[in-house]
Amino acid sequence: MLIAGNWKMYKGPAETAAFCTALRERDLSGVDVVVCPPFVSLAIAVQLLAGTEIGVAAQNVHWEPEGAFTGEISAPMLRELGVYGAIVGHSERRQYFGETDETVARRARAALDTGLFVIACVGETEGEREAGETEDVLRRQVSVLEADENLCLRAQA
């Protein structure tokens, strides 16, 4: 069982330090735990959770290894920081930042190619659910990931 906590835009470095210190003391046997703090708190989370079985993942990753992409972060940068994985395709990224199925697949591919674990999010909007389109939306979103069979297989590992 995987329990992943996406902290969204909560917990700066100081609060992250306190949380991770307390988390180290918890008995988490039997579950895989991943924390996904905001970018400014990744380094302290990696540092404080080193030597534990608790993974640290970023909330997003860009598909290019470097370049003029203000506000983005690349997979090689995350690896250098010691981050374990990344979330791609979160509904908020799709809704507020216009991410598409194709950009989600590009982000996932870049992360996997760099050795990061990927949590690929899929799901319908409220309007799609009310219109009875849930299965079609999920099928479409997953099909883009499945188009790259290595992506799909590696994402499940």
Q: What is the pLDDT of residues 73-97, one digit of tens each?
A: 999 999 999 999 999 999 999 999 9
Please report which residue ranges of 7-125 form alpha helices under DSSP H: 13-24, 42-49, 75-81, 91-97, 101-113
> Please, which pLDDT band fits residue 1 given cuts at 50, 70 and 90?
confident
What's the confidence (pLDDT) of residue 155?
46
> The whole model's pTM is what?
0.88
What's the confidence (pLDDT) of residue 140?
87
Question: pLDDT averaged over the chain?
Answer: 92
105, amino acid identity: A
Closest CA to 56 of 74, 78, 35: 35
> Please, which pLDDT band fits residue 57 given cuts at 50, 70 and 90?
very high
Domains of the chain by residue range: 1-58, 60-157
Q: What is the pLDDT of residues 113-149, one digit of tens each?
A: 999 999 999 888 899 899 999 898 888 888 877 766 5
Fold classified for 60-157: TIM Barrel (3.20.20)
Please give the Cα distance from 22 to 8 (Å, whole number).
19
